[in-house]
Every structure is written in structure tokens, then in C-alpha cells.
A and B are shown apart, each in its own frame.
Chain A
Amino acid sequence: MPLDVPAIRSEFPIFRRTINGKRLVYLDSAASSQKPQAVIDAMVHVWSHSYANVHRGLYTLAEEATMAYEDARAKVARFVNASDVAEVINVRNATEGINLVAYSWGEQHVHAGDRIVITELEHHANLVPWQQLAKRKGAKLAYIPVTDDGLLDITVLPGLLDDGRTKVVACSVMSNVLGTLPPVVEIAAMAHAAGALVVMDGAQAAPHMPIDVQSIGADFLAFSGHKLCGPGVGVLWGRRELLEAMPPFLFGGDMILTVKREDSKWNALPYKFEAGTPAIAEVVGLGAAIDYLTGIGMPAIQEHERRLLPYAIARLSEIPELRVLGPGPAERGAVVSFTLEGVHPHDIGALLDEEGICVRAGHHCAQPIHDRFCIPASARASFYIYNDENDVDDLVAALRKTVSLLARR
């Protein structure tokens, strides 16, 4: 059944406001999504009704807060089909989750002369941590290239794996610029056959499609709550035996079992990786966001975007000066980056804002993929559950105005 977009919009208080007198057309969910009332309410409820620090107090409030916090973890585990709740680590964001792996696992397992394989379409979050690990260790960093069509050329992968020196393959499940959906299951199978670890950046994918960590082939998968209708908190899922064998990333309270003057023992999973007081209300809010999304249904969300995306690409392609980056609609998620001949992306962003339309302009934290296509920057429209054909039509109309204002006369 198609999504009832007007009903969904009415559940997001932000759509009651206008921008420059125009209705809000929010097309920047790939950067961060808007929040439904249910998520806002869940966080307010913790703060106004059940707030105390978690895992410590012996009083009612502390127990309620701990229960709400751990209940949210269980929801996250179900959301990604983790078999073990202790494999779900609460972090600040996907970036921190990937850094946790690069430091905690990477420092122990990557050595001089080893290889780390990433792809040309990575967000900086799944690129710089590996690049810097390689530099610290004297390891090599290799890129799986992107074809002119915006797809990964995985034919190079066997050549990068066959000497057995590749320790980790890190890959996005969905590109935040091109929308490309790499064949991650296939990549993971090849990497595992060569003894490499597989780290997946699920920041773009998790809000838009069902994720099953038991079948996707990842050893670690990171994603962010704020992109899936939740607050600013992130999740790292990892395989238990790997997490067990890893040293802590950060040290302090809550992650310890015992502390003596000269040494300490670490707490069990997942607490070993959650040093200090966590973002309690945010984690509860993430649980509410997952309830909200699963209430709509992840397959229904995916279906909605699969319908909207070809419409968006077709309508945008009507503008002669516009060039859509990346693969065709069948091979991508609901992200459309584009350039307009003669118009800098900043000017696109500023002029669309006057029409109440929010798009991203710049390199979207992915400079290498822009270099790959020899463009300094692009504009990006990204779609979610609260977007429909009307938003696309408004976007196209505003882009036509932009062209007529700025194209060389």
C-alpha cells in the first residue's frame, strides 16, 4: 500500500512552519531527517517523568531510566535483526562507530605492509578513519573505483584480496552522493573468503530499507539515529566474538568492572564500549523512531522511495542544463545529486531556499567522489517518507527559475 504522505507530514510538527512564506519542502534527509511528534514526546517523557542516570541508582527513577534505555537497545537489535542485544553499542553517530572499529580493532590487527580496501564513493566518515589508520601503521589504502555510471567496479577486488594482505574492506551500503547501492553481500563474501574483516557504513541505508546484519555479511555496521527520524545518537553493531576480543575505545565510568590503583578490568558487552554517561533521552528517542518507522514498515518505506525516485529523476531530466550524477533509478536509493550548467551549487541552494526548498549544496562530505567526476561540488535532493511528487514538482519549478535567473545571458 502506498504511504499516506499528507498523514505522515502531519505527524512532523516542523511541516507546520513556512520558509520565506512558502510551504516547507524538505529535501535534505540524507544529511539529517526531520522528527515526528512521537520521537519528540518520547524524549520529553524521559526528561519530565523518568530521568536519572542509567545503570547506577537503586531508586525508582534510575530503574525506569535504565529500563527505557535498555528497551531502546533491544528495539535497535530487532531493527537490524541482531541475534544478540549485547552486540548493539550506543555511540554518538555513525562516524564515532567507524572510528571505534578503526582504533580498537584496527590498532591491533593492521600492521605495516597490510592493506585496507575502501571505495571511491565513501563518505569521509568511512574514509578518513581508514586513511589515517593506514598512515599510522604504514599500511596501504586501496580504493575500489567507481565507473562512469556511478557503480562500483568490483572486478578489481580479487586483485586486491589475493595476496592475503588485505585486513579490512570498508564499504558504504548506500552512497550519500550518488545513491549507489553497492553489491555489499557479494563484496563481503569475497572479503571474508580472503580473511578480511568487513565494515559497513549503514548511515544512508538504515533509514530507507530493511537491514539484516545476519545476512548482509558485515562484521561491523554503523548508522546514525538522526537520519532515521531519531535524535543525534548513533549505533555500532558488531559481531560478539570480535567485540569481546577488542580492547575498549574510551575509558572511564560504566565501562569498568573493577578499578584498582594500578589496573582495571572491563565491563561486559555492550557496556565495555559505552564509557561515561550515555545520551539517555536520545537513545530512548531512537527507540521511539524505530517504533515509528517499523509502524509504517521498512519495506513500505523502500517501496515508496522506489516509486518516487524514477519520477524525480525523470522530472529533473526535463531541465536541459541539469545533469544527474550516478546510476539509473533501479540501482540507487532516494538521493539525487546534480549539477546545473552555469550555476554554482551554492546559488542553487540559496535560490531554492527562497522558495522554501531545502537541498544540500557542496561536496556532501565526500570530496573524492566529486574529484572522480571532476566537479568541485554538486546540489543534492534526498527524499524520505514525508516527500511526494508535489515536492519534486516544486523543486523542478524552482530550478527552472534559478536557471533563467543565473544562466549566462
Chain B
Amino acid sequence: MSHDLYREQLLDHFHNPANFGVLEPADVDIEMDNPTCGDMIHLTARLGRDGRIASVMFEGQGCVVSMAAASMLTEAVVGKTPAEIDEMDLGQIEEMMGGVKLSMGRVKCALLSLNAMKQGLRDAGRLA
């Protein structure tokens, strides 16, 4: 198997996810799922006095792509403002995941955690 998508870095995040769990209390607390594939994520985050993301944790279940992306995202967004997170797109997620090129069918897996983050910030009134 050549598994570009299943390289060691992603598998490490899948098997040993960073920031796995729930922050209590949290400023952002959201559950989101991909009903078509059964991926589910519960994302919690705290913002600092400066309005930037201070810490993020996630729990959930899903494929390697969705779980590895979520794990990496919890590290990548720390220090960002909600507006900066809102500007993140697929290209940045692919870069974050080590430069993978995601096929059409896997894009929504990779974006689940980012979409949850954005929606959670909106629900919390931190993003217009």
C-alpha cells in the first residue's frame, strides 16, 4: 500500500490524538457530525483575554482523516483570532496535514473539525 493519506504522521495523530477530551468550562462547546459517513466530533475551546484561542480539546469518532485533522487542528488554531480561523480553508487544512491532496470524497472528513470550530465560535457570539 502506498498510502499517501495514511503516512506515519497522520496515523500518529489518529492513534494518539492531541488534546483528546473535553474542556470544562469552555467558551465554545459544539457537537457536529457528518451523517453521510458517521463521523462525529465534540469540540470545546477557551479564548484568552486577548480574544485569541487559548486551548482546544476534542473527542469523537471517525475515519483517520477526520480524527487526525481534528487532532492537528487543536494545535494549529491556538493563538489565532476567530476571524483568522474563519478565513481558514481546505488549502490550509491540507497544508496542516503535511501537504496531502485530499480526494473529493474525503474533503468533508477533513473539514469537519474546522467547520465545527467556526460554527462553535458563531454560536458563542465570537464570530459574526
Contact = CB atoms under 8 A, between A and B. Distances in A.
Given A406-B11, A408-B15, A345 B1 contact: no
Interface residues of A, number: 22
Given A362-B36, A377-B38, A406-B64, A350 B5 contact: yes
A56 interface: no
Interface residues of B, number: 24
A45 B44 CA distance: 61
Of the candidates A347, A370, A401, A408, the one having the most CB atoms from chain B within 10 angstroms of its own CB is A347
Interface string A316-327: 000000000000
10 contacts: A344-B63, A345-B63, A346-B65, A346-B105, A347-B64, A361-B37, A362-B38, A370-B38, A405-B6, A409-B15
A4 interface: no
Contacts of B1: 351, 354-355, 401, 405
Contact of B3 (A363, A370, A375, A405): A405
Given A346-B65, A362-B37, 11 more contacts: A344-B61, A344-B64, A345-B38, A345-B63, A346-B106, A363-B36, A363-B37, A376-B37, A376-B38, A405-B11, A409-B15
A363 B38 contact: yes
Contacts of B15: 408-409
A20 interface: yes
Give the 10 A-B residue pairs with the shortest CB-CB distance, closest first: A376-B38, A344-B63, A346-B63, A377-B38, A347-B63, A354-B1, A347-B64, A346-B37, A362-B37, A377-B37
A357 to B, nearest CB: 11
A352 to B, nearest CB: 10
B31 to A, nearest CB: 14
Of the candidates A350, A361, A401, the one having the most CB atoms from chain B within 10 angstroms of its own CB is A350
Contacts of B63: 344-347, 350
A367 interface: yes
User: Would you call the interface of chain A mostly helix, strand, loop, or mixed?
Assistant: mixed
Interface in B94-112: 103, 105-106, 109
A117 B39 CA distance: 31
Nearest to A370: B38
A405 to B, nearest CB: 6
Contacts of B36: 362-363
Interface string A348-381: 0011001100000111000100100001110000
Nearest to A349: B105
Contacts of A377: 37-38
B17 to A, nearest CB: 12
Contacts of B65: 346-347
Contacts of A344: 37-39, 61-64, 66
Contacts of B3: 351, 354, 405
Of the candidates A355, A361, A376, A406, the one having the most CB atoms from chain B within 10 angstroms of its own CB is A376
B125 interface: no
Given A350-B106, A408-B15, A367 B35 contact: yes
Interface string A371-409: 000011100000000000000000000000100011011
Interface string A328-351: 000000000000000011110011
A274 B20 CA distance: 56
Interface in B1-46: 1-3, 5-6, 11, 14-15, 35-40
Contacts of A406: 6, 11, 14, 64
A212 to B, nearest CB: 36
A364 to B, nearest CB: 11
A351 B65 CA distance: 12
Contacts of A370: 38
A344 B15 CA distance: 13
Contacts of A362: 36-38
Nearest to B65: A346
A403 to B, nearest CB: 12
Interface in A163-187: none
B119 to A, nearest CB: 20
Contacts of A363: 36-38
Contacts of A361: 37
A213 to B, nearest CB: 34
Contacts of A355: 1
Nearest to B62: A344
Interface string B82-126: 000000000000000000000101100100000000000000000
Interface string B54-71: 000000011111100000
A367 B36 CA distance: 9
Contacts of B61: 344, 376
A97 to B, nearest CB: 24
Contacts of B14: 406
